[in-house]
Amino acid sequence: MNPPQEEPPAAGGDTGRRGDGPRRFARIWCRAVYPETATSMTRDEFEAHLVSLTEQLTDALHARHFSPEAGRHVGEALVDAHCTTAEALPRILGIIDAYLPLYCGAGSGLDAEEIRVRCGRLQHAMASGYAASLQQRTRSEQEALSRATLSAQAAVARALHESETRFRAVFEDAAVGIGIADMDGHIMDTNRAMNRMLGIAEHQVRASNIADWTHPDDGPEVWRMQAELRRGERDHYQVEKPYQRLDGTSLWTNLTVSLLRDADSRPQYMLAMVEDITERRLLNLRLRYQATHDALTELPNRAMFFERLEQAVAPSPGRRRVGLCYLDLDGFKAVNDSLGHAVGDRLLIAVGERLSMCAAEPGQLIARIGGDEFVALYVDPPSRKAVTDLAQALLDELATPVEVDGRELMVRASIGVVEGPTAELNANEILRSADITMYRAKADGGNRYALADPDSDARAISRHHLTHHLPAALKGSEFFIEYQPLIRMEDGSLEGAEALVRWSHPRHGVLGPDRFIPLAEHTGLIVPLGRWVLRESVRQACEWQVQGIGGSRPLRLNVNLSPRQLNHPDLVDETVAVLDEFGLPPGSLCLEITESAMVRADDHELKPLRQLADLGVGIALDDFGTGYSNLASLRRLPVSTLKLDRSFSEGLQQHPADPVDMKIVEGIVSLAHALELSVTVEGVETCNQAERLRELGCDSAQGWYYARPGPPERLPEAV
Amino acid sequence: MERPVWAPQGVDLSVPSVSRMYDYYLGGSHNFEVDRAAARRAVDAFPGLPKIMQANRAFMRRTVRFAVSEGITQFLDIGSGIPTFGNVHEVAQAASDEARVVYVDNDPVAVAHSQAVLDGDERTGVVAADFRSPRAVLDSPEARRLLDFDRPVALMLVALLHFIEESDKPAQLIAEYRDRLAPGSMLILSHASTDGGPRTSEQGDAVTDVYRKSGSTFVMRGRAEIEALFDGFELVEPGVVLLPNWRPDTPVDKEDPAAFTGLAGAGRKA
């Protein structure tokens, strides 16, 4: 305890009855007690408070009739001033005991012993008042705290209830179906949307277990993920899942299941949210169907066929094979052309139906992949024969005429069959091989199937390959022109040259026209190719004229024209434009058309040739003698030259020459001359041959005897 | 999972509450055994804590009187805790008849008790909100009813910010409050710190640990960090100082040495 620093009061002091004893006592008291208080009063405020308490004690000490009651009040007041630490009371009482009689006892007229007794009794009362007050305060504070806690809990409960109400509203009125199940799968609660979707009453849903909601179309992953969720290994999954409604219909849903854990993260509940996607799925299925099926025949289309074929050849364990029948109707174009597209379409529908009947086994698929092209895919056929049997079955199915609009139509088809191990094939190769093989079947007369074999494939593949690369070759200037001199028979002079197009193929070397012109003709590329040949050769002819090659008479340029070019509407305009561009006289150009193309052409198709002939362009009938033309028809053709097929000149190679051939050539020449046509012979290889043909009256000739085809700069050598 | 803002805060009496621990330090009985046990561990780790709290309390009273003397009669006391003797509204109302006080706490028990204590006091309100949601505080009906944000307000963050982690960006939060305060408003702030005081940083770590183990966050900050919190306010004399040294009423040489722990200051918005 701190020693008092105040001067003790002088006994019987003269500063009033009590003097400044109480004030000085309070200062000592404050110094000792203030550190043990938790009061918010400042030290000065606290000391002032103690002065007032000291006055009360002093009053009691000096009272005529002593009552310790003041001690109680002071004890209570000290508690109110927060002198409540464990150390506070001993300090309070210690200072009272030691200094109260000393500083406040004087002036009462009581003896020291009485003062001491009274001081002791006041201390007892103070302790009692202090204890009672502290107990009271503690109780009231504890009660206030309990009330506050209860009130806070009530507020929380209220808020929880509100929150619960809000959640309940969300839960009940949500458009998605929501269900909660315990970890055993018992469904505990479902909302209205869920009950509506499942089409059953709430109590029926609640009586069920999620395992009751298995559906035959469930994906294998659904129940695997569900098991993982249940074991707590997964917190969430989302799948498309069907449900069986009580009325037997299927509900398709987008199902999201979440695991709800407790505070210790133990799995407690499973929450399922279900979105009805039945409509959307139907729409998707419809769109998918439309994307994978042919609108006309409703057969799977090219996209779906390829998808299946890709699947079939995708790497997989085990030895697997695949078979494919590639079917193309024979002469379908004729049906379309003669009976119209409506009939053609109905024929295709009928064919589709028939073909479908042949391929009903698992692993078999009939698809329409082009206009009149169908395929039968056979995944894992038991044998190669099974695939050729299928091809034969397809042909047999088409053997009975198809009735369309009361008209019986014969349907024939050519089928290319491919069969082999998937490991060695890819989808594109299979399809190409089948396509090629189909063409072989067609070339062999149609109405049959052919089985792919590597040799014929190889030949055809290069054909296929060339077709494929033609457009790029034309763009990439892989074509060039060689010129074969035409010799005037009467004097052996150079009359002109035939332009012969070549393809300098980067891999296959130089290809002759027989290799690619039919392909170009087939694909239509002949038109731009022909246009290029005409322009380039006309340009070359002009160059020769400028160089003075051929002397006073301008050289004639022969250019081949294909049937397709013949039908091209711009033939006349383009030809005239090219001649104008380079300034070549029309008479210096001769267009060669095969006899077969010419005799097939009707008057309408001959019109452009007639226009060109009227302009002075020469027209030569190429390969004459092979087309079985009606000689009489020569009169109506706008032709100026006959080019005798090499087969005639071949007979004159022998020594002595074949007299029959001699007679024929002689006859043709005289007929031609009678019609005012000149005659050119091809394939002249020997001197004798040349001599005979000259004697027979042929006007001009070309052949190896004179010169082989060569680059333009070699032409002057032939003179 | 993120708790929705409108979901109620629970009352978990098995977890110590910082406001009830504070009441215990001040000798109150608004506490449960779980609070007292945690508070005793804190005092063991950091001797003299009750004296520091008392000094903090005294600082708060001085700043309220100072604010009133500067003409501020509106007080926004965030983290007000359990009302005990000598609260802000008592001091403020004693100093000015116009004083209006809004108490804010996120402890539902403290809020409920405050509401009981303040029942009938029209000039004082209680808001259940978190300092970290300035809009919830500033836009609360009580704040709108009692405070005129066009006039200066004393924002009191007394012994609060050491419960706010750096990841909650206290400076940014203060700025949000500051931006709503009129010029002349004041930020009054005290903060746990071992800077400049008799306690070691190890003792600081130990008490931090006690609070963290009791489920609270607790961050000791240094003087520079605390001064930085006054961004946008001009510190009034004597700046950021040890609790008893902020504009003392009586000579500080009689103060308990333990009280010279923790930093405090006040700043004025220009």
Can you give the residue ranges of every domain in chain A?
21-142, 174-282, 293-452, 480-718
Of chain B, the end-to-end C-alpha distance in Å amounts to 41
Decide: A40 and A125 in contact? Cβ < 8 Å: no
Q: Can you tell me the distance from the alpha carbon of B53 to that of B262, in angstroms, rounded to the nearest whole number?
A: 9
pLDDT of residue A213: 85
Question: Is the pLDDT at A24 greater than 80, yes or no?
Answer: yes
**Token pair listed for A125:** 């009362």
The reply to whether residue A144 touches residue B30, judged by beta carbons under 8 angstroms, is: yes
Decide: A486 and A440 in contact? Cβ < 8 Å: no
Of chain A, the end-to-end C-alpha distance in Å amounts to 147
**B249 vs A42, A138, A149: nearest CB:** A42
**A148 vs B26, B112, B128: nearest CB:** B112
Confidence tier at A11 by pLDDT (50, 70, 90)? very low
Give A183 to chain B, closest Cα distance, Å: 21
pLDDT of residue B40: 93
What share of chain B has pLDDT > 90, as a percent? 70
* Burial class of residue A174 (count of CB atoms within 10 Å of its CB; 0-12, 13-18, 19+): middle
> B270 — contact with chain A (CB < 8 Å)?
no
pLDDT of residue A461: 59
pLDDT of residue A627: 61
> B172 — contact with chain A (CB < 8 Å)?
no
The reply to whether residue A156 touches residue B108, judged by beta carbons under 8 angstroms, is: yes
Decide: B56 and B159 in contact? Cβ < 8 Å: yes
The length of chain B in residues reads: 270
The reply to whether residue B57 touches residue A148, judged by beta carbons under 8 angstroms, is: no
> B254 — contact with chain A (CB < 8 Å)?
yes
**B13 vs A149, A158, A160: nearest CB:** A149
Kindly provide the residue ranges of all beta strands, DSSP E only, lying in A108-216, ordered along the sequence.
Answer: 177-182, 187-190
The CATH homologous superfamily for domain A174-282 is: PAS domain (3.30.450.20)
Q: Can you tell me the distance from the alpha carbon of B94 to that of B86, in angstroms, rounded to the nearest whole number?
A: 10
Tell me which of A5, A145, A166 to substitute to probe the interface with B (most B C-beta atoms closer than 10 Å).
A145
Tell me which of A149, A156, A271 to substitute to probe the interface with B (most B C-beta atoms closer than 10 Å).
A149
pLDDT of residue B1: 34
pLDDT of residue A2: 46
Question: Is the pLDDT at A338 greater than 70, yes or no?
Answer: yes
Minimum mean pLDDT range among A174-188, A315-329, A615-629: A615-629
Give B251 to chain A, closest Cα distance, Å: 10
Mean pLDDT of all residues in A577-584: 92
Confidence tier at A544 by pLDDT (50, 70, 90)? confident
Q: How far is CA B14 from the centre of its chain?
A: 24
Mean pLDDT of all residues in B65-73: 95
> B6 — contact with chain A (CB < 8 Å)?
yes
In the CATH hierarchy, which top-level class contains the domain A480-718?
alpha beta
pLDDT of residue A498: 94
Tell me the three state secondary structure of residue A453.
Answer: coil
Residues on chain B touching A44 (C-beta within 8 angstroms): 249-250
Residue type, position B269, single letter: K
Mean pLDDT of all residues in A320-343: 87
What share of chain A has pLDDT > 90, as a percent? 37
Question: Is the pLDDT at A36 greater than 90, yes or no?
Answer: no
The reply to whether residue B113 touches residue A148, judged by beta carbons under 8 angstroms, is: yes
> A160 — contact with chain B (CB < 8 Å)?
yes
Q: What is the pTM of this model?
A: 0.54
pLDDT of residue A460: 62
pLDDT of residue A319: 64
- The residue of chain B with its CA nearest to that of A88 is B27
Q: Which of residues 67-126 of A touch B (CB under 8 A)?
A: 82, 84-85
Question: Is the pLDDT at B218 greater than 70, yes or no?
Answer: yes
Decide: B55 and B243 in contact? Cβ < 8 Å: yes
Q: Can you tell me the distance from the alpha carbon of A406 to that of A700, in angstroms, rounded to the nearest whole number?
A: 58
Residues on chain B touching A136 (C-beta within 8 angstroms): none
Give A375 to chain B, closest Cα distance, Å: 57
Question: Is the pLDDT at A414 greater than 80, yes or no?
Answer: yes
The reply to whether residue B54 touches residue A141, judged by beta carbons under 8 angstroms, is: no
Residues on chain A touching B26 (C-beta within 8 angstroms): 38, 82
Does A56 or A5 have the greater pLDDT score?
Answer: A56
> B29 — contact with chain A (CB < 8 Å)?
yes
Mean pLDDT of all residues in A164-170: 87
**A38 vs B54, B61, B128: nearest CB:** B54
- The residue of chain B with its CA nearest to that of A37 is B27
Topology of A21-142 in CATH? Globin-like (1.10.490)
Q: Can you tell me the distance from the alpha carbon of A277 to that of A284, in angstroms, rounded to the nearest whole number?
A: 10
Q: Which of A494, A546, A484, A512 is nearest to A704 (CA)?
A: A484
- The residue of chain A with its CA nearest to that of B54 is A38
Mean pLDDT of all residues in A545-554: 79
Q: What angle do CA B28, B29, B31 make, to 5 degrees?
A: 110
Mean pLDDT of all residues in B15-23: 90
Going along chain B from its start, the domains and CATH numbers come out as 49-197+221-269 (3.40.50.150)
Mean pLDDT of all residues in A519-546: 88
Name the DSSP letter for residue A106. T
pLDDT of residue B245: 94
Annotate chain B with three-state secondary structure. CCCCCCCCCCCCCCCCCHHHHHHHHCCCCCCCHHHHHHHHHHHHHCCCHHHHHHHHHHHHHHHHHHHHHCCCCEEEEECCCCCCCCCHHHHHHHHCCCCEEEEEECCHHHHHHHHHHCCCCCCEEEEECCCCCHHHHHCCHHHHHHCCCCCCCEEEEECCHHHCCHHHCHHHHHHHHHHHCCCCCEEEEEECCCCCCCCCHHHHHHHHHHHHHCCCCCCCCCHHHHHHCCCCEEECCCCCEEHHHCCCCCCHHHCCHHHCCCEEEEEEEC
- The arrangement of secondary structure in A293-452, i.e. its CATH architecture, is 2-Layer Sandwich (3.30)
Residues on chain A touching B7 (C-beta within 8 angstroms): 159, 163
Give A322 to chain B, closest Cα distance, Å: 54
> B252 — contact with chain A (CB < 8 Å)?
no
The reply to whether residue B58 touches residue A40, judged by beta carbons under 8 angstroms, is: yes
